[in-house]
Amino acid sequence: MMRDRFELPRNAAGEPLVYFCGHSLGLMPIEARRIVNEELDSWAARGIDGQFSGQRPWVDYAAQMQAGLAALAGADASEVVAMNALTLNLHVLMASFYRPRGTRRRILIEAGAFPSDRHAVAGQIAWHGLDPRDCLLELAPRAGEDLLREDDIEGAIERAGETLALVLWPGVQYLTGQAFDCARIACAARHAGAVVGFDMAHAIGNLPLALHDWNADFAAWCSYKYLNSGPGAIGGAFVHARHAHRSDLPRLAGWWGHDPATRFRMAPGFDAAAGAAGWQVSNPPIFSSAPLLASLEIFMAAGIGRLREQSIALTRALEAEIDALPAGEASLVTPRDARARGAQLSIRVRGDAERSRRIFDALAVRGIVCDWREPDVLRIAPVPLYNTADEIRHAGAALRAALAQVG
Ligand SMILES: Cc1ncc(COP(=O)(O)O)c(C=O)c1O
């Protein structure tokens, strides 16, 4: 439990709110302020010399984040890099890994994908002069179901077969909280001869990942959710080691992806850095990277395996509180099997969207910070780094009171 290493949002009386919104914006590590301030001080004191001197020379910033990110991504350090933001990283990676050829030109995503992911794949298809109506395959859950069955995902990949160029899948679905068997999806995609990429926005820092062993080609994520790095924080990317030295892949190249040993020779040719670092474009934004350093330090101290055990217990306790609500009041959208979910539980309450919004508001009045997503889902994520069993009990009582109040 690392609660005392985070700033806790508080009510007007100065009491901590019950913050269950780490799936959206993680809380601020206290050390983030110190590290950001140190970078500001370095800039003030050194100007451009901060690039090469001081406690954390800016020129090496991406390297300083690699070990922590690799541990969370389940990768070798050379397979990960902090850069850009999530959607941009999807574009940068698809520019290399979505290479439609002949009839192999389709991309498979889930029908409920986060809109930005859908925009990105549709945009990529159009960028190649193709029509998303022909090339974008979207797999929906079966009629009357919220969750995707693994067999159906595998079946869709098999059916698309030789027409499939890319599978882009989430590690954890943003609305339902469903966690997928990425190894199985990657295996099916590779069997079909397609590339496989993962959006790990809701998975990294939430579940232990094994992107290398799962054989993903690439992955991207943001750092402002479970990685607690602040609004608009620097994103991250994974590129499998088998692509580390691929000079045949086109890239949206920029000078920061150039081999660092010769980057400052300022020569016109592009010589990609080995590994994921070779997909960097620009020099990293230091002030939106510094909080990630603070957060990674906490993850390294806590260990993602241990956090996951605590997470399973907390989420199970929350599930029990929801199950104990008066019959018919709330139903769980998220799978009940801990292996098929992370921290987040998504629930639907009895009645229409308007009523569920009122319940959301009544929870806020009681100091419970969760969120509400179209069309009718409350998302609640206890985060093992800073949430407690007491807060789960408090949330249960608040839910009961909110339901009674709204009637
Ligand atoms: C699954 C998923 N994809 C894409 C995005 C968009 O992220 P960004 O604005 O960092 O590109 C989000 C943001 O919450 C997300 O959850």
Q: What is the mean pLDDT of the chain?
A: 97
Whether residue 217 sits in one domain with residue 262? yes
pLDDT of 407 higher than 90: no
In a domain, 30, yes or no: no
| Secondary-structure percent of the chain, ordered helix, strand, coil, rounded to 5 | 45, 15, 40
Distance 221 CA to ligand 1 centre (A): 8
**Average pLDDT for 377-387:** 97
In a domain, 359, yes or no: yes
**Average pLDDT for 306-330:** 97
pLDDT of 68 higher than 90: yes
* Cβ 224 under 6 angstroms from ligand 1: no
Whether residue 367 sits in one domain with residue 262? no
What local confidence, expressed as pLDDT, does residue 375 receive?
A: 86
Contact assessment for residue 192 and residue 172, using Cβ atoms and an 8 Å cutoff: no
Interatomic CA distance for residues 32 and 38, integer angstroms: 10
Quote the strand ranges of 286-383, DSSP E: 330-332, 345-349, 368-369, 371-373, 377-380
The Cα-based distances of 303 to 31, 42, 297, 300 in angstroms read: 18, 31, 10, 5
* Domain boundary pick from 246, 276, 300: 300
Query: What atom of ligand 1 comes closest to residue 199's alpha carbon?
Result: 1
As given in the structure block, the two tokens for residue 103 are: 């009839």
Helices 61-73 and 286-302: angle between axes, nearest 10 degrees: 40
pLDDT tens string 179-233: 999 999 999 999 999 999 999 999 999 999 999 999 999 999 999 999 999 999 9
| Residue ID of nearest Cα to ligand 1 atom 10 | 86
Task: With cut-offs at 50, 70 and 90, classify the pLDDT of residue 160.
Answer: very high
Distance 77 CA to ligand 1 centre (A): 24
* Cβ 86 under 6 angstroms from ligand 1: yes
Task: With cut-offs at 50, 70 and 90, classify the pLDDT of residue 59.
Answer: very high
In a domain, 233, yes or no: yes
| Residue ID of nearest Cα to ligand 1 atom 5 | 116
pLDDT of 376 higher than 90: no
Whether residue 187 sits in one domain with residue 253? yes
- 22: which residues sit within 8 A by CB, 6+ positions away? 225, 226, 228, 343, 381, 383, 385, 386, 387
- The helix or strand, by DSSP H or E, that contains position 117, with its residue range, turns out to be helix 115-127
**Average pLDDT for 225-245:** 98
Interatomic CA distance for residues 23 and 46, integer angstroms: 37
**Average pLDDT for 393-399:** 96
Task: With cut-offs at 50, 70 and 90, classify the pLDDT of residue 249.
Answer: very high
Query: What atom of ligand 1 comes closest to residue 116's alpha carbon?
Result: 4
* Cβ 172 under 6 angstroms from ligand 1: no
As given in the structure block, the two tokens for residue 250 are: 């086109």
pTM, to two decimals = 0.97
Helices 304-323 and 286-302: angle between axes, nearest 10 degrees: 80
Whether residue 264 sits in one domain with residue 146? yes
Give residue 311's domain range: 304-406
Whether residue 257 sits in one domain with residue 187? yes
Distance 401 CA to ligand 1 centre (A): 33
Distance 87 CA to ligand 1 centre (A): 6
CATH number for the domain spanning 342: value is 3.90.1150.10
Q: How many domains does the chain have?
A: 2
What local confidence, expressed as pLDDT, does residue 96 receive?
A: 98
In a domain, 3, yes or no: no
* Cβ 87 under 6 angstroms from ligand 1: yes
Q: Ligand 1 test: best mutation among 222, 227, 229, 234, most atoms within 8 Å of CB?
A: 222
DSSP 331-346: EE-S-SSGGGB-S-EE
